[in-house]
Chain A
Amino acid sequence: SAVISQKPSRDICQRGTSLTIQCQVDSQVTMMFWYRQQPGQSLTLIATANQGSEATYESGFVIDKFPISRPNLTFSTLTVSNMSPEDSSIYLCSVVVGQETQYFGPGTRLLVL
């Protein structure tokens, strides 16, 4: 498995501002992803964080709103830009260890007022 940490664990933000979430893994991993879990809902993949190149975004998510960095194989950041109350969610990073096994970080709970 992998030990994954996220910062911050939670935050309350004002609309129109931006928040950067950090994800740190205790070992080098090739595949890293960012998911969103809206209140009471399932998980939705936002993007694949690619090391050394631009992230790959899923339908409905764009780089201007969710810029992602992946400077090395153990770290990534997700920024939620120009926030609105609809962005209130849990944001989780995940990593693939081995062939396909995917582990999740503890999540960042975001509330936008």
Chain B
Amino acid sequence: GENVEQHPSTLSVQEGDSAVIKCTYSDSASNYFPWYKQELGKRPQLIIDIRSNVGEKKDQRIAVTLNKTAKHFSLHITETQPEDSAVYFCAATLGTSYGKLTFGQGTILTVHP
């Protein structure tokens, strides 16, 4: 089955710096890659996603890049703010199984004021 590896497990940055989280996946048939943000005690919230026919997608301070050949995708957060502090999860579809997501291990992002 699909395997998603996420790095780093923790990331600490100063306010205003950029943060990058990277994920690799194993199933070359995967075609949808969402990113979720989970604040303490809350549900995972979708923050951005990318499909396999797109190499990059941006939404204000958040961007995601996808390299299908290398089977990796990354989340980029620019001009980080303390409210960006949370756990971030990448995910990939389970092959071509519609809707089934395999999640990475998560990254605890801390933004220091």
A residues bordering B, Cβ < 8 Å? 31, 33, 41-45, 48, 58-59, 92, 96, 100-107
A92-B43, A104-B43 as given contacts; A44 in contact with B49, CB under 8 Å: no
**Looking at chain A's contact residues, is the secondary structure mostly helix, strand, loop, or mixed?**
strand
B71 to chain A minimum Cβ distance, whole angstroms, is 18
B64 to chain A minimum Cβ distance, whole angstroms, is 14
Q: Which of B13-21, B54-62, B74-82, B98-106 contacts A (4 or more CB under 8 A)?
A: B98-106
Q: How many residues of B contact A (CB 8 A)?
A: 23
| Chain B residues with CB under 8 A of A59 | 1
B residues bordering A, Cβ < 8 Å? 1, 32, 34, 36, 42-46, 49, 51, 89, 93-94, 98-106
A31-B98, A96-B99 as given contacts; A43 in contact with B49, CB under 8 Å: no
| Chain A residues with CB under 8 A of B100 | 33, 45, 48, 58
- When chains A and B are docked, how far (Å) is the Cα of A48 from the Cα of B94? 12
Given A42-B89, A100-B49, A103-B46, 13 extra CB contacts under 8 A? A41-B106, A45-B94, A45-B101, A48-B99, A96-B98, A100-B51, A100-B93, A100-B98, A102-B46, A104-B43, A104-B45, A105-B43, A107-B43
